[in-house]
Amino acid sequence: MIKGVMFDFSGTLFRIESAAQWLRAVVADAGLAVPEGELSACVGRLEEFGAQPGGVPPRRVPAHLEGLWRERDLTAERHRAAFTAMTREAGRPAADLADALYERSQVSEAWQPYPDAEATLRALRGRGIPVAVVSNIGWDMRPVFRDHGVHDLVDAYFLSYECGVKKPDAGIFQMACDKLELAPGDVLMVGDEPIADSGAAALGCRVHLLDPLPVDQRPGALAEVLQLL
């Protein structure tokens, strides 16, 4: 019987804006006039290098960045360094926007909850089922939850850069289970990364994977979690 639920953040409860929206917002804030063709080409390069936190994974990682990329979620400093480095590898439309792009990825307006996220979290709260968020990340996304009105529906957060361990290491899932005061076999892990999130299975947790589709293409997948309880 499921008595507690762990959720991933990006691609599970929330989804970041598209790479095109991300770049355009930063270019506009910088007051730059960039030709449409150059903007489109830059979006393609940013996606190729996986330069957007929470966006698509890189199709290739330069050899000199492989170590930093592997460890990016263990500290805030490595996270910033890894993503800004990948942005610079991708090139830029008119100026060095790497830091501005990185900072844009942390503002609440850049993230949208999935349509059924709040209702699902409220339903779990109504059933007395505690919730933890377990995320590989290098920054504090609690303000995103607050600004979208769902922070009070989460009992605990376990962020890799704060915990010093990242998924799929079973240690971070054990921390969450301990905080929820539940045996792993009584906890469901809901995420979108087959390797990272399935690490919970090593403890005996049940794992349910979702497709990290854009928000408007995945209206009801989280609500289906309630049927697993």
What is the overall mean pLDDT for the chain?
A: 96
- Ordered DSSP codes for 11-70: TTTEEEPPHHHHHHHHHHHTT----HHHHHHHHHHHHHTT-STTSPPPS---GGGHHHHH
Q: Which listed CATH number (3.40.50.1000, 3.30.950.10, 3.40.50.970, 2.30.38.10) goes with 4-15+112-228?
A: 3.40.50.1000
Query: Are residues 29 and 103 in contact, defined by beta-carbon separation less than 8 angstroms?
Result: no
In sequence order, which residues have a C-beta less than 8 Å from that of residue 109 and are 6 or more positions away?
none
At 12, the pLDDT band (50, 70, 90 cuts) reads very high
Greater confidence, 36 or 12? 12
Q: Where are the domains of the chain?
A: 4-15+112-228, 16-109
Q: What share of the chain in percent tops pLDDT 90?
A: 94
* Residue 160's pLDDT band (cuts 50, 70, 90): very high
State the pLDDT at residue 33: 87
Point out which residues pair with 111 in neighbouring strands: 16
pTM over 0.75: yes
CA dihedral 110, 211, 131, 109 (to 10 degrees): 10
The percentage of the chain sitting over the pLDDT mark of 70, rounded to a whole number, equals 99
Confidence of residue 228 (pLDDT cuts 50, 70, 90): very high
pLDDT the model gives residue 94: 67
Q: Is the model's pLDDT at 1 over the cut of 80?
A: yes
Residue 168 pLDDT > 80, yes or no? Answer: yes
Tell me the per-residue pLDDT of 66-124, one tens digit each, with 9 for 90 and over.
999 999 999 999 999 999 999 999 987 767 899 999 999 999 999 999 999 999 999 99
| pLDDT score, position 34 | 86
